[in-house]
Structure 1
Amino acid sequence: MLLKQLSMSAILLYSSSAKSLDCAGLFKDAPTLVQGLKPFVAEIHPANVTFVPVGNPAYPDPVPDLPEFCRFGAEYNTSSTSKFRFEAWLPKSDHWNAFWFKVVLHLFELKIGNGGAAGGVDYREMAIPLAKYGFAVASTDTGHNG
């Protein structure tokens, strides 16, 4: 659990220290921010383009009406037979409210749950705090897909 928190916190710290949103730089630098972290996506998602999840059977629904953001995803092997994945959506600095919102299972901090044994990044739940309130958001599969 602590490693998941550290991974997402390192990504947020990196993004908040940059003058502009640098997804490519985040992809390149992520493995040095958290040893063993394996990024699988870092791209700018344009404003007002529907986000269509691929390869996420738990949460396959398209997500419309989003602002421009950096989509960053990575995985981390917790043992030789298991891993967890997470994604962070980082808004442009002019839309960001300087706060972090995690869409995960646990009931502390400012976050909402993805329920029981739900095994996937919950994109629809990430969209609300990002688009409506300007939060940087993250969600994890909590290791259920790996």
Structure 2
Amino acid sequence: MEWHIITGSKGGVGKTLLALLLSARTLEEDRGSTLVLDLNSMNADFSRLLFYQKEVGESISISIPAQERKNEQIVLQKTFSLDKKGNPYFYVVGWPLNPFRMYDPSLFAKLLATLKNAAADFEGRLDIPPLET
């Protein structure tokens, strides 16, 4: 599974644009399913741009590790983009259920492991091809 992580505290330097271009390239290559997570739910430009009025089916949520032994939830929504011929590329966009809670960076490795371990379950629930492994 390929992982691309884009982060930085400075605004206006092109993180959202880079993420959109990387996502578009991945979708064009069509190598299985694509999962895009927007962990900055307070400024969710990326999520809004990707699935505005293009939701497919119901969203689902999965538990992710958090401090205080409480689990947070990531919402996953199937969506699509169209290629030049009008054929859909399906992919999944995820974001934190609670937009006001900052995700603890020390738990990021556990988040990645949780997503990888939950992939088979949410692939079936969202009716998407397997993520690359």
Which TM-score band (shorter chain)? 0.3 to 0.5
TM-score norm. by structure 1 comes to 0.32
Task: Work out which structure has the larger RCO, using CA pairs closer than 8 Å and 6 or more positions apart in sequence.
Answer: 2
Higher helix share: 2
Higher strand share: 1
TM-score norm. by structure 2 comes to 0.34
